[in-house]
Structure 1
């Protein structure tokens, strides 16, 4: 039995040598490395993730920080650098057709923020370009000033879907509402 195994081993070795005799070994510098180190892992955090962690650690809503204050009768206006002054003037004149609107009267700040956020996202997905947000003048807020008006002013400035906004013409609510120009998706 042992002799048969030895003969098979010799036959296998001989067969292997015969098959490999025409093969040329690769030059050293043309060989692929036996081990290729993996590239370092990249963090996949987004701005929103960092913001959520910061809000959680501070136990505050970042949108409540550095609020811009406006009085109940003051106009609001904002435009991104990509929006021209002519477009902002057209928006202020009410030249754009208002395609949808939301009325935030009577809502608490968290309710208003949630409702407005969903409304803006939905409007952007639907491809709307001009919407109206009725926030009120804050007359009922007394000495505290126009709470929702100030919140809306700050929220809209921070949301990526917003290109510009401006207080509406008197007939559409004046300083108690804004025309909002949205990015096209």
Structure 2
């Protein structure tokens, strides 16, 4: 009987590493370094370097240079009322910017490859100290960045019943055959 060896995709490896970091080893056992699980994957599957969250002045300048496409009103209404299905969800709560960027990129890449059109990205509303959350500000900038343009057609804030300002509807581009 031959033994089957499963290889993790880059997206699955990122997700596994995020989960593995939260696990505690049993008493008397040492932790395994989860960064080196399996063979290295080539640079073509690595997520591109993330975009830093912009200062308000730089963000205003960027808006004039590249306007991100918002979802049209009929589509936004259909999504909020549940008449258009949300085919995937990713929750970025509690992640660092680097972890969130990697997870978001791999999730959107897999969803796009799977032919999914509409997904919900949950960023959370931010810290309890009164300021906007880091991911709440950064994710829309990431979605408008050149690295995500082949995947993302448009995005907009979600309706209240889907998380309101702490979530985003994302329309993915159609996968080319």
Instruction: Give the shorter-chain TM-score range.
Output: 0.5 to 0.7
Provide closer, same or farther for how the CA distance between residues 62 and 148 of structure 1 changes in structure 2, counting only shifts above 3 A.
closer
Structure with more relative contact order (C-alpha pairs < 8 Å, separation 6 or more): 1
> 2:68 and 2:84 mapped to 1: Cα distance?
16
Q: List per-residue Cα deviations over 1:150-170 (Å, max 9, x = no partner).
A: 110111111121111111110
Q: CA offset at residue 139 of structure 1?
A: 3.3
Q: Equivalent of 1:179, from 166, 169, 173?
A: 169
Instruction: Answer yes or no: is the 8 Å Cα contact 1:92–1:167 preserved in 2.
Output: no
* Larger helix proportion of the pair: 1
Q: List per-residue Cα deviations over 1:95-122 (Å, max 9, x = no partner).
A: 5310000000011111100000000000
What corresponds to 2:37 in structure 1? none
Normalised TM-score (structure 2): 0.57
> 2:75 and 2:52 mapped to 1: Cα distance?
27
Q: Which runs of 5+ in 2 are unaligned?
A: 1-43, 60-66
Provide closer, same or farther for how the CA distance between residues 169 and 162 of structure 1 changes in structure 2, counting only shifts above 3 A.
same
Q: CA offset at residue 92 of structure 1?
A: 2.2
> 1:119 and 1:125 mapped to 2: Cα distance?
10
Normalised TM-score (structure 1): 0.54
Q: CA offset at residue 143 of structure 1?
A: 5.3
> 1:182 and 1:155 mapped to 2: Cα distance?
14
Aligned-residue CA RMSD (Å):
2.6
Q: Equivalent of 2:136, from 149, 153, 161?
A: 149
1:28-47 pair list within 5 angstroms: none
Q: CA offset at residue 174 of structure 1?
A: 0.5
> 2:118 and 2:168 mapped to 1: Cα distance?
10
Q: Which runs of 5+ in 1 are unaligned?
A: 1-47, 53-60, 70-76, 81-86
Q: List per-residue Cα deviations over 1:2-42 (Å, max 9, x = no partner).
A: xxxxxxxxxxxxxxxxxxxxxxxxxxxxxxxxxxxxxxxxx
Instruction: Answer yes or no: is the 8 Å Cα contact 1:91–1:179 preserved in 2.
Output: no
Kindly name which structure, 1 or 2, has the bigger radius of gyration based on alpha carbons: 1
What corresponds to 1:63 in structure 2? 51
